[in-house]
Chains A and B, each alone.
Chain A
Amino acid sequence: MPNRMSLIRPLYPIALILAASGLASAPASAAGPIVIGASVSETGPLAVDAGYHLRGLELGVAEANAHGGWLGRQLELKYYDDKSEPGTAVRLYTRLLTDDKVDLLIGPYSSGITQAVAPLANKYQRLMIDPGASLPDIFSEGNHWNIQGVATSTGYLEGMLPLAKEHGAHNVAILSLQSAYSLACGKARQAQADQLGMHVVYTTTYALPQPDFSAMALAVKNANPDVVIACSYYPDSVGLTQALQRIGFAPKFLSETIGPAEAQFTSALGPLSDRVISNTTWWSSLKTPGNAEFIAAYKAKYHEDPDYHSAATYSAIEALGAAVKATNSLDQAKLRDWLFKNTVPTVQGTFKAGAQRGRDGVQAIYVPDPGERP
């Protein structure tokens, strides 16, 4: 029987050739552009939001190139369509890492898809800033290479209850969609209400699509809360607001998470949208460094208004660029460690990957006027 060494020996020349050509180890060629890889949901149910996500990335790369690139090299964005499917995204990120050997990674859109691809960053020990994932679970203790690039879902509507309490509110109703992000948000707000000594008079969870919110709205009305908190997405934000109006209940504070900051919310609800208090991770009137320039450049390039998805990806490129320039390197560990130790001013606020290893992300929570648009 041949020994193990005799079996391996014929492979030596191949390994030597691979090592010499630089294909056996990851980094792309040093002379060419710095390649940033990502998957984007260009098709499928997430395509609209992911479109903003992609345009923010493209603009971030274009702006960096216009300012001379990084390390004296131009940037190139390499992306594939993940069809809004987590499984496809996993295949694409594997391809970006093993075949395309991109220099840097940006995470995909949505918590669900990011959750699927995040283990790849850990496996290949590659830094991945995730501007499309609010779910905190992704950035847990065991994950050392993903950094959250947007506010965490447990922080959504965090300012609402203290504000309401200041104005004499005591009773709270919390409605949460059956999704990882919404449930985390609902749980956090319930704990916060307890901490503030407020009384949670009604809680429920629901699934989408929900053709009718009137029964839940009636239950909310009967519980008579001062504050209604909905950890919701766009369709349920609209449905719940309509249902509360239909049964004639107007709580002192009606606050919903995702939806009210989007332009369609106002067109869907008309004047009703004025009743809703919400939060967003970015808004046009934020006095953050470069925000006005970002909006102007976005409008000039795409002939539309940016939204918070675009701002999140644009900010991720800003943060990555700051790390690359400061470390003068594309070394993944150096970049990651620099981001954990430093803060970066971005259009959506200060980028801070703090002590909780990525959970801090960007905190830019405030209450916009839904009628005010960029």
Chain B
Amino acid sequence: MLLLQLLVNGILLGGMYLLLAQGLNLVFGVMGVVNLAHGAIVTLAGLFTFWFATTLHENPLIVLPVVLVLVLIVGAFVQRLLLEPLAGAGRKAELLSLMVTFGLSYVLVEGALNLFGSQYVSLPDLQTTWRIGGLAVNEALVASGLLGAALSGALQLWLNRTASGKALLATSQNQIGALSCGIDVRRMRAVAFAIGAALAAAAGVLLILVIPLAAPTADTLTILAFVIVALGGLGDYQGAALAALLLGVVQSFVGYYLGGDAEYVVPYLLLIVFMILRPQGLGKSGRPVWSERR
């Protein structure tokens, strides 16, 4: 029963990780941009949810659709204003985009500090623990895990079954090829960034129910999301899902048997091991961290 509980805990944690990482993966997959503001968007959405729930005394999940739409719009504008001008910069584009998203992260984190302060906050909602046999399963972790899986599934369906999704996928695979097929590549890049940012915001809304968040945690969340994406293979959506689950389960077992310090370093140790043994990650179509942009 103990092993099963550790496995269930790990899978639920993996669901949370998937939720955290898939927005970053989408943006990288389509645009080749490592969005260093990803964690800042997650954190800002989480802090906004906390403010909303504690000020208006409403269910925090009401915020989710509002935040999704708002960040979708703002994300598209940000991409057009800050990142699209870099698209013609050739080989320098990746470096410049790193600098731009780093700057954006700085602005968002400082904004969050000024608006919400530096204190960690958390919400007491969805804290019921269900007993299934001898297993203890928490409502907030199940909700975040299910939503992570649902959003990931919806993203997969959209990418593989719809014309607009296939256009986005084609753009991620080969931008020149996509352009020659008549796909509006500029538009696709804006769509990808907007959806990626919206997914990050959705993660923030749910994460505040699971872990305490504060403005300074933004960088750590970006790094954690990047590690998951790199473990899965950059731009590989199924790989990221596998990586998130693997990381959750390994952390669960390591945390139990070796303690909190060992659990903390698991993501980074796994990344080193994968970079040596399987740099393309767990997925089939992933790219190694150091690969050239196609």
Number of interface residues of A (CB under 8 A): 41
Q: Which of chain B's residues has its CB closest to A266's CB?
A: B124
Residues of chain B contacted by A215 (CB below 8 angstroms): 6, 9, 251-256, 260, 263
Q: How far is the CA of A239 from the CA of B124 in the complex (A)?
A: 11
Binds B, one of A55-63, A93-101, A267-275: A267-275
A206-B263, A245-B127, A247-B136 are known contacts. Are A212 and B256 too (CB-CB below 8 A)? no
Of the listed stretches A42-50, A74-82, A119-127, A356-364, chain B binds A42-50
Give the nearest-CB partner of B208 in chain A: A268
Given known A-B contacts A205-B259, A219-B256, A211 and B16 have beta carbons under 8 A apart: yes
User: Cβ of B245 < 8 Å from any Cβ of A?
Assistant: no
Contact B224 A207 (CB under 8 A): no
Q: Which residues of B sit under 8 angstroms from A46, Cβ to Cβ?
A: 118
Is A204 interfacial (CB-CB < 8 Å)? yes
| Cα–Cα distance between A328 and B131 once the two chains are bound (Å) | 68
Interface of A is mostly: helix
A204 surroundings in chain B (CB, below 8 A): 259-261
**Residue numbers in B under 8 Å from A239 (CB-CB):** 122, 211-212
* Contact between B264 and A210, CB atoms less than 8 A apart: yes
Q: Mark B259-273, 1 if CB is under 8 A from A, else 0.
A: 111011000000000
Of residues B5, B119, B120, B214, which shows the largest number of chain A Cβ atoms within 10 Å of its Cβ? B120
Taking A48-B117, A209-B217 as contacts, is the C-beta distance between A216 and B260 under 8 angstroms?
Answer: yes
Tell me the dominant secondary structure on chain B's binding face: helix
Which residue of the partner chain B has the closest CB to A207?
A: B264
Contact residues, B253-294 vs A (CB, 8 A) = 253-257, 259-261, 263-264
- B249 CB to nearest A CB, Å: 11
Please report the C-alpha to C-alpha distance between residue A206 and residue B260 in the assembled complex, in whole angstroms. 4
Q: Determine if B164 is an interface residue (Cβ-Cβ < 8 Å).
A: no
| A214 at interface by CB-CB < 8 Å | yes
Is A234 close to B, CB under 8 A? yes
A248 at the interface (CB under 8 A from B): yes
Q: Are B136 and A272 in contact (CB under 8 A)?
A: no
Cβ of A235 within 8 Å of any chain B Cβ, yes or no, is yes
A117 sits at the interface (CB 8 A): no
Bound CA–CA A247/B121 (angstroms): 22
For the complex, give the distance between the alpha carbons of A149 and B138 in Å.
42
> Is there a chain B Cβ closer than 8 Å to A175's Cβ?
yes
Interface centre among B16, B54, B119, B141 (most CB of A within 10 A): B119
CB-CB under 8 A for A218 and B6, given A207-B264, A209-B217:
yes
A235 touches B124 (CB 8 A): no
Closest to B138 in A: A246
CB-CB under 8 A from B214, the residues of chain A are 45, 235
One digit per residue, 1 when the CB lies within 8 angstroms of any chain B CB and 0 when it does not, for chain A 33-48 equals: 0000000000111111
Chain B residues, Cβ within 8 Å of A47: 113, 117-118
A246 & B212 in contact (Cβ 8 Å cutoff): no
Contact partners of A246 in chain B: CB under 8 A = 127, 129, 136, 138, 141
| Mask: chain B, 197-225; 1 = CB below 8 Å from A; 0 = not | 00000000000000110111100100010
B119 engages A218 (CB within 8 Å): no
Q: Could you jot down 30 A-B contacts, CB within 8 Å? A: A46-B118, A47-B113, A47-B117, A204-B261, A205-B261, A206-B261, A207-B261, A210-B264, A211-B211, A211-B224, A212-B211, A212-B252, A214-B13, A215-B260, A216-B259, A218-B2, A234-B120, A238-B120, A239-B211, A246-B129, A246-B136, A246-B138, A246-B141, A247-B129, A248-B136, A264-B120, A264-B121, A267-B121, A268-B121, A268-B122
The 3 nearest A-B residue pairs measured at CB: A206-B260, A215-B255, A270-B124
